[in-house]
Structure 1
Amino acid sequence: MTVIADSARTTPALRPHRVPADGLYEGARVLRRTPDGRQERPYELFGVHPLARTIGAEIHGLDLSRPLTPALRDELNRALLEWKVLFFRDQHLTSADQRAFAAHWGELETNPLLPRGAGEDVVRFDKAAGTTPTFENVWHTDVTFRARPAMGAVLQLREVPPMGGDTMWADMAAAYDNLPAEIKERIEGARAVHDYLPGFARFYSPEQLAPFQETFPPVEHPVVRRHPETGRRMLFVNTSFTTRITGFTEEESDRVLRLLFQQAHVPEFQVRFRWRPGDIAFWDNRATQHYAVADYAPHRRVAERVAIAGDRPY
């Protein structure tokens, strides 16, 4: 039998820990649905069925075509703040009903860059094989190129393909919570430029986009915004509209933005919703990003969206 001398029983040197290529630390995630210290209360006017740990819940027992009482509106708002996106099955609202529901949260917003449905504040996405692409297969927050981006949106699927066509949402408070401490320190107080041109250039020509440059000049928003109702910190940059971080070199801005954009891709921060005709999704645009999955060709997918005007991020 071979005897190994003590001198040979050396512990091999550990390889130095490396941050993965996407910039994210490996290991357990911090998954807080609500801010620390916020007391959760039961819901009395409807049922809540969570779909993921921090984001996304189905709401049961409501007919959204009926007017909301102040108490019901307030309880739904509490659920929206807690879950960030609410889903309502089998509603089949008219465009007028959809607008009336959304208007309980504020003035409705128009977007001249998107196709209209029944009314100037209703956007209609009618997609079939070979049609003009829209905001699919890209993570984004709606209209951050505005000085006051949308507070939220109410989306209804009119026609659903037999397979595919899901939508995903990401919790940007969880995305911020899980950043490495040194990255949080680096972006503290930083501001970023948002511009409509990069987001729309892939499906409009320069001639079509040019008339909107005066209407939508580039704007700056905080890289990390505070939610106006909960006070929670959230990442507020997105692939479609954020072009650079003010005061950073081009190289550093690109590097940091790539890392921040990647946070929306973490599965633990996401919820995925499989649509049926007549379903409604109501999301907090201040706290989320979303991604329409373009996997349903050659079938058709028809959706209508109403957006609610928002405030200036701080």
Structure 2
Amino acid sequence: MTAAVADKFAVQEVKPLIGAVVDASKEALLSGKFAGQIREMLEDRGVIVFSQVHFDDEEQIEFTKTLGKWVPEMRGDVFKISMDKKVNPQADYVKGAFYWHIDGTMQQVPLFASILTCKKTAPVGGNTEFCNTYAAYDALSDEEKEALGKLRVVHSFVNSQLYVDPEPSLAKYEEWEALGTNELPLVWTHDSGRKSLVLGSTADYIVGMDPLESRRLLVKLRDWATQERFSLSHTWSVGDAVLWDNTGTMHRAMAYPLDCDRQMHRTKLEGEEAFS
């Protein structure tokens, strides 16, 4: 490989407020030479696509480590996202990914970022959508920012699972309930000074607000944050790798046939700052 090819790192913005596609060789990405540039770009763009890079699991882990502290999954080094329970025993849990969410709202320090690589595409559907919660906050009026900045939201695993199974048995509900709740600010003031909205399917209710008013406001803000100008939809090709800032975006998988063999592999980066 020539030095010119090895040093290539070209960036194209997808939309004004979200997304970038990086054209770089696998070798350049694994070298870590551009890791600082990628991290700087991540907060601004939210989502970075590396088309047709074709990482295997070991290479995906190696690339992840160039960007921060890699965190192994509970079962293995990578999380194999599939609806086939032979591939992924947690297939039922994955159904929650069809709804807008931030990974880690049940912890005080959420994941910094995640990387997803495509191994098998769905025959129809299966895009992954992202929205920029920094940009969504920035576009609010000053009056809205002042009002929202005072609010706190209780997040629960129960709320996220009710999207998937709205009429659970009491025994199932109690399993979810045992995982507890977590109270977080609606507006996250980051160490950088920037602010973003903390929303998603785990957002149960706003503290001290009438339940129906609380629900309406959370729906309104989700609708605001996921509108076209703040969001993008990535159509997968085998070999694609997508990196996203979990602290400044929400994401969800779009519907696809549950009996198909769509398969993604995820690696993740340890959180670096607490919700505040």
TM-score if structure 1 supplies the norm length? 0.73
Give the alignment partner of residue 86 of structure 1, picking from 44, 48, 62: 48
**Following the alignment from structure 1 to structure 2, what is the Cα–Cα distance between the partners of residues 111 and 250?**
36
CA distance in structure 1 between the aligned counterparts of 2:123 and 2:104, rounded to whole angstroms: 30
Aligned equivalents of 2:49, 2:124: Cα separation in 1: 19
* CA deviation vs aligned residue, 1:223-281 (integer Å, no higher than 9, x gap): 111233x422111121x111112232323322321211212331111111111111100
Calculate the aligned-residue CA RMSD, in Å: 2.8
| Number of residues of Structure 1 aligned to a counterpart in Structure 2 | 260
Give CA-to-partner distance per residue, 1:43-102, whole Å, 9 cap, x none. Answer: x85101111111111100231686333x42101111212211101111222222212222
Once the two structures are superposed, residues 25-52 of structure 1 have per-residue CA deviations (whole angstroms, 9 ceiling, x without a partner) of xxxxxxxxxxxxxxxxxxx851011111
Show the 5 A alignment for 1:182-221.
Answer: 182-201=143-162, 202=164, 216-221=179-184
CA contact (8 A) 1:48 1:60 kept: yes
8 Å CA contact 1:65–1:91 kept in 2: the answer is no
Q: Is structure 2 residue 109 aligned with structure 1 residue 148?
A: yes
Confirm whether residue 76 of structure 1 aligns to residue 38 of structure 2: yes
How far the C-alpha of 1:157 sits from its partner, in A, is: 1.0
The 8 Å contact of residues 57 and 86 in structure 1, kept in 2 or not, is answered as: yes
Q: Which has the larger radius of gyration?
A: 1
Long gaps (5+) in structure 1: 1-43
Aligned equivalents of 1:245, 1:220: Cα separation in 2: 9
Higher helix proportion:
2
* Percent identical: 26
Equivalent residue number for residue 195 of structure 2: 233
- SS of the equivalent of 1:134 reads helix
Relative to structure 1, the CA distance from residue 46 to residue 81 in structure 2 (aligned partners, 3 Å threshold; closer, same or farther) is: same
Find the partner of 2:264 among 270, 293, 303. Answer: 303
Kindly state the Cα deviation for residue 136 of structure 1 after the two structures are TM-superposed.
4.0
Alignment equivalent of 1:54, drawn from 17, 30, 41: 17
Aligned to 1:123: 79
In 2: Cα distance, 1:111 partner to 1:212 partner: 21
Map 1:251-262 onto structure 2 (within 5 A): 251-262=212-223
SS at match of 1:149: coil
SS in 1 for 2:215: helix
Superposition map of 1:35-50 within 5 A: 46-50=9-13
Identify unmatched segments of 5+ residues in structure 2.
Answer: 1-6, 85-90
Q: Which moved more, 1:261-270 or 1:51-60?
A: 261-270
CA distance in 2, matches of 1:96, 1:162: 27
